[in-house]
Amino acid sequence: MSPTIPTAPAGATAYYPALTGLRAVAAYLVFFLHFRPLAWHEGWVDLVCRQFYLGVSMFFVLSGFVIAHRYQGSVQLSRGWWRAYFWRRAARIYPAYLLLNTSVLARIYWPLPAGKVGNSLLLVFLSESMLRGFSSTLKYVGLPQGWSLTPEECFYFSVPVLLVLWGRRGWQGAVGFVAAVFSFGLLLTCLCQGRPALHGFFGSYYHLFNFTFFGRVLEFTLGVGLARWWRARPTCAAATWPWRTLAGALGMALLVGALATINSPQPAYEGNLYPSAIVLSIVAFPLAMALLLAGLLAEASWLRRWLATPLLQMLGRSSYFFYLFHVGLFSIWWRGAFGWSRHVGWQFVATIILAELGYRFFERPVHRWLLARTNRAPRQTSLA
């Protein structure tokens, strides 16, 4: 008999093991984008590995689903609700970021260089506040991968409005939201590009599409739409033929192959330069990812069983700390001790172990402590 899959009520924090395991897969793709054996730096393998930035897209779609699933039906546009909402989001994201980002900033800027104190403090502020992600030239200050938290935080600020619009206006409200966000990003870039005094803030259209919430709003919105579909879906048995899972996974694999074939130039500060690669990355791939997530939610499959194994659950829970930790002081030390792209397998294993320790002894306890400071008791979930 097929297992029954319940539909969680609004505001519930139902736990979906396969989605937690998928977080680990996304984080490890980003690791092997940055670090891979020397033998992987040539030929087709190199072209494929260079597309592993798509792991960030996977995170964005997952984030859209998780946040919408948690808060749809419970949004209250009141001061008290906003305060509690932002506190919970900050408690989840910021402590690990503050710890690891500050450690990198201290290595770079301490002691403060004479004559450059003001400039250094400004860079530290932009990095710690996550505002640096709006700049095409400053987004890598501190933890380089921390740029992705700027679009994430923008999504946190805007998703209550999206949920209200979608609830009141249906899909037209969602389309209007995406169009408004995208248009505002285009306007800011039009006004700001070519102005050196702004230090790269909205400095190019490539930066807009590849690195900002305004250009990548569709990825988050697809996750929100998936959460609404899942909530409206009646309780039923899991499908015996996992067509969504297969189609989504196959589509994602084919898109990685297509992007490798296109082989768009990817300057570090601009991202993909070919329009076709940009469209495949921020439109087609998230659509395939959303289809895969729908399959993992609604269908019984070997992939869902594998992602739900205890090992993948453990790795998925620590995947956020892993993502922030994998490029930082430890990777700098590893490069100095062993060289670039040397013993990458051992580096990968060591990073997993240290990230698990960071999650168990810092991220999780600090998160729980901060939630305990609120008036409402924390609701446990590994996805939120």
Over residues 132-168, the pLDDT tens digits come to 999 999 999 999 999 999 999 999 999 999 999 999 9
Give the structural domain span for 361: 19-372
3-class DSSP state for residue 239?
strand
- What is 158-212 written as a DSSP string? HHHHHHHHHHHHTHHHHHHHHHHHHHHHHHHHHHHTT-GGGTTBT--HHHHHHH-
Residue 377 located in a structural domain: no
Residue 214 has pLDDT above 60, yes or no: yes
Whether 9 maps to a domain, the answer reads no
**Rounded distance, CA 60 to CA 213, Å?**
10
Tell me if 73 is assigned to some domain.
Answer: yes
**pLDDT per position as a tens digit, 23-41:** 999 999 999 999 998 888 8
Count other C-beta atoms under 10 Å from residue 67's C-beta.
25
Is 380 contained in some domain? no
Strands 4-5 and 236-237, sheet pairing: antiparallel
Cβ neighbourhood burial of 31 (10 Å; 0-12, 13-18, 19+): buried
Q: What is the pTM of this model?
A: 0.92
Tally of domains within the chain = 1
4 DSSP assignment: E
Q: Is residue 384 part of a domain?
A: no
Task: For 233, list phi and psi in degrees, rounded to 5.
Answer: -70, 130
**Is residue 382 domain-resident?**
no
* Average pLDDT of the chain to the nearest whole number: 91
Q: Is residue 148 part of a domain?
A: yes
Let me know if residue 1 belongs to a domain: no
Report the amino acid identity of residue 243: W
Q: What is the pLDDT of residues 280-315, one digit of tens each?
A: 999 999 999 999 999 999 999 999 999 999 999 999
Q: Between these two residues, 3 and 140, which has the higher pLDDT value?
A: 140
| Distance between start and end Cα atoms, the chain | 31
